[in-house]
Structure 1
Amino acid sequence: MKKIIITALLILSICSVQAQTMLTGTVVGVKDGDTVEVLDDQNKTTILRLAEVDCPEKKQPYGKAAKQFTSNAIYRKTIHYFVTDKDRYGRSVAKVFYKNKYLTAEIIKNGMGWHYKKYSRSRELAQLEQKARAQKKGLWADANPIYPSDWRKARRAKKNY
């Protein structure tokens, strides 16, 4: 029985390691602050939705600034990433690293996005957001920053009015 449990645990750990295989690619497009396009070594492109962060929409206040921040950090550069999930649009949700930095943390630290608490329990990211808020960095300089999903709902309601 003990041997079966150990074997099962070993299989589970191997599966989790395989699910988090680190990949490498070059960023060939930045769609917005939290979505990029990556070209791998086999000339295949993949759309990556950054894990644990939600940036303002393109037409939302600070949307262009968030996109520019992400572009300045990784456009045309080699990144390392691992896919954590697929989102409802079929995009790969990924943790992206560059120059030994976690891109999501850099975005949040600089006030270019919200810690996506619905999908992340990271205390470090929550603390980075609180610090950026306190320092009024980026979108936190706005008196009333609107969370992207709330902004989208308001835009849809306005169109239907």
Structure 2
Amino acid sequence: MTAIIDGRSMRLRLSRIDAPEHRQAWGQRAEQSLRELVWRKPVHIEWREVDRNGRPIVTMTVDGLDVSEEQVRRGMAWVYRAYSKDPRLLGLEALARESRVGLWTDESPMPPWEWRRLQREGQQAP
């Protein structure tokens, strides 16, 4: 996502989650969900590290609501297991999957890290 910080545009990565890519199934809906959560609202952002693409990896809250947790609860993102073993977040993902909300309405949703791997290898992702 992009945020305006101190008057300048900055690309950010939400911590602990991975959402569908824009061209991937559910990508545009995940983006819409994120916009609903944060668009033109004051957000609280904390970061301690930067990813390999130079983006701050952030924890973001809006009115006390953790944006990463809410995206997972809505079925708009996966827990990024390579970087998070947060039991609360894993529980929210399991509940979304069991309730078949968001991307979990698909029979076999493809995690974005797998979709990106197929793209890198030049394979057609479903």
For the criterion TM > 0.5, the same-fold answer is yes
Deviations 1:19-53 (A, max 9, x none): xxxxxxxxxxxxxxxxx22222x313322100001
1:91 to 55, 75, 83: 55
5+ residue gaps in structure 1? 1-35
Tell me how far 1:153 sits from its aligned partner.
2.2
Q: Which residue of 1 aligns with 2:117?
A: 153
Counterpart residue type for residue 44 of structure 1: R
1:68 and 1:56 map into 2 onto residues whose CA distance is 12
Deviations 1:70-107 (A, max 9, x none): 01110121100100310010000000000110000000
2:89 and 2:113 map into 1 onto residues whose CA distance is 19
- Once superposed, what is the RMSD of the aligned Cα atoms? 1.2
Q: Which residue of 2 aligns with 1:47?
A: 11
Contact kept in structure 2, 1:38 and 1:48, CA below 8 Å: yes
Higher fraction of helix = 1
State the SS of the aligned residue for 1:145: coil
Bigger relative contact order (CA 8 A; separation at least 6): 2
Give 4+ residue runs of structure 1 displaced > 6 Å after superposition. none
Q: Which residue of 2 aligns with 1:38?
A: 3
Contact kept in structure 2, 1:84 and 1:95, CA below 8 Å: no
5+ residue gaps in structure 2? none
Counterpart residue type for residue 158 of structure 1: Q
